[in-house]
Amino acid sequence: MGETTAIPRKTRIQAQNEELILKAALEVFSAYGFRGATVDQIATNCGLSKPNLLYYFRRKEDIYVAVLEHTLHDWLEPLRSLDPAGEPIEEITRYIRTKIRLSRDNPKASRLFANEILHGATAIGTYLKGPLKDLVDEKAAIIRGWIAEGRLNAVDPHHLIFAIWATTQHYADFEPQVQAVVGGGPEVMTKAEETLTRLFVEGLKPRSQ
Amino acid sequence: MGETTAIPRKTRIQAQNEELILKAALEVFSAYGFRGATVDQIATNCGLSKPNLLYYFRRKEDIYVAVLEHTLHDWLEPLRSLDPAGEPIEEITRYIRTKIRLSRDNPKASRLFANEILHGATAIGTYLKGPLKDLVDEKAAIIRGWIAEGRLNAVDPHHLIFAIWATTQHYADFEPQVQAVVGGGPEVMTKAEETLTRLFVEGLKPRSQ
DNA sequence: TTAATTCTTGATCGCTTGGTCAAGAGCGGA
DNA sequence: TCCGCTCTTGACCAAGCGATCAAGAATTAA
């Protein structure tokens, strides 16, 4: 009791391997979903044996939760940085642009979450109802304020945020469909960014000004 | 050879059971995805034994493809009925309204497709590149025509269609998230419909008119 | 009623997969 | 160098799953 409670310091090897595992896990889970992915796949993908991988994460689910948590924070950063002191149209334009570029540069994270939520969000359900809801409510209040000041068209802030999420993440989550319809060149994403910003800006800019 | 070639007429029992199976399969596949779903689950779900189910569909994949095809046609009906002779804003408003109601009334179909595409669209890839692309291109041309006539704001038609798909299906595919953030009452969907139509209408209505 | 056909199922097989275990290899501090 | 701890792995296990099969039950056509 007088001693310091056991603090499990992380070995160099531990930190290194856990990072390898999380990277491989994102790859595999985002491609096949939780049930579709296999521990063997993840192990092979990062050059470890299966028992060795299970030495670092006892259960498959532990890897899954770890990679979800590890990715969630970064994913919400753009919304977090929506600035109440900024110019409304400019702030929202920047948000859309950041989100769609995140979707382009890190589609695996998008697909990981999409799959998790699509299948009931059992692993991150409490997170959604807690921190996520709090963040969204906070930003929705800001938008509501802008609307009250007449600086934005009157739309429901929550559903506006949903719309931005849906449209931007669509390009990562439904990539095969987008690819099938308009092809897969790099110009697709720039065109998407252009179209979405115009659509939302025109949709939100007050008529009388 | 002189005889008529064997036409496999469907028995009453056949038709009845196949319908039961497809219904149960939609339920299970939409909830767990292809790999996550089990033949046993589907069988139990429709009151048949597993071998009996496999008497009607030889392989698990056959059930999956069947239920996909069975649902795809209905799912695209709203886009198909976009009328080139109609009033642009009115047509698109109707399309959004129809889509979001379809998403509300048949979320399982939405989730079935979402899962299929999210995991690479291996089963319907050729359909996407064929009939779907053709349909979308056709409707995009109509929208492009409306824009050329100055009856709509200038946005890329393909990406506009993607945006409508994304925003409307979001409420089915990401239901747990929507529920976590704004709750699950029936007013959510009406509010969503209202917000989306306003957003798109304001975004598409030409400023100078 | 009879005979052919369709339908149904218990038992079972082969394979995949998550997870365990014991035993050895590697590493770091004294 | 030595010793304790961390790390690694081949072999293995039990459960779950897709699929098969043979044999019996139900249905249908005559």
Q: Which residues of B106-130 are buried (b: 16+ CB within 10 A; e: fewer)?
A: bbbbbbbbbbbbbbebebbbeebbe
Give the pTM. 0.94
Question: Count of A–B CB contacts within 8 Å?
Answer: 182
Cβ of residue A51 lies below 7 Å from strand D: yes
- Closest CB to A118: pick one of B155, B173, B199: B173
**Contact of A46 with A98, CB cutoff 8 Å:** no
- Identify, with chain letter, the residue nearest to nucleotide C26 (CA–C1'): A13
| Cross-chain Cβ contact B181/A132 below 8 Å | yes
Q: Give me the pLDDT at residue A208, please.
A: 61
| Cross-chain Cβ contact A202/B178 below 8 Å | no
Cβ of residue B162 lies below 7 Å from strand C: no
- Contact list in B for residue A184 (CB cut-off 8 A) is none
> CA-to-C1' distance for A26 and D7, Å?
24
> CA-to-C1' distance for A58 and C22, Å?
18
**pLDDT tens for the 209 residues of chain B, in order:** 333 344 556 778 899 999 999 999 999 999 999 999 999 999 999 999 999 999 999 999 999 999 999 999 999 999 999 999 999 999 999 999 999 999 999 999 999 999 999 999 999 999 999 999 999 999 999 999 999 999 999 999 999 999 999 999 999 999 999 999 999 889 999 999 999 999 999 999 997 64
Cα torsion A139, A167, A118, A69 to 10°: value is -50
For each of the domains in chain B, give its residue range(s) and CATH number, in order of start. Answer: 9-58 (1.10.10.60), 60-204 (1.10.357.10)
**Contact of A57 with A14, CB cutoff 8 Å:** no
Nearest Cα of chain B lies from the Cα of A44 at a distance, in angstroms, of 20
- Contact list in A for residue B30 (CB cut-off 8 A) is none
**Contact of B34 with B116, CB cutoff 8 Å:** yes
- Identify, with chain letter, the residue nearest to nucleotide C5 (CA–C1'): B11
> CA-to-C1' distance for A16 and D11, Å?
27
Q: What share of chain B is helix, strand, coil (3-state, %, to 5)?
A: 75, 0, 25
Q: Kind and range of the H or E element at B195? A: helix B187-204
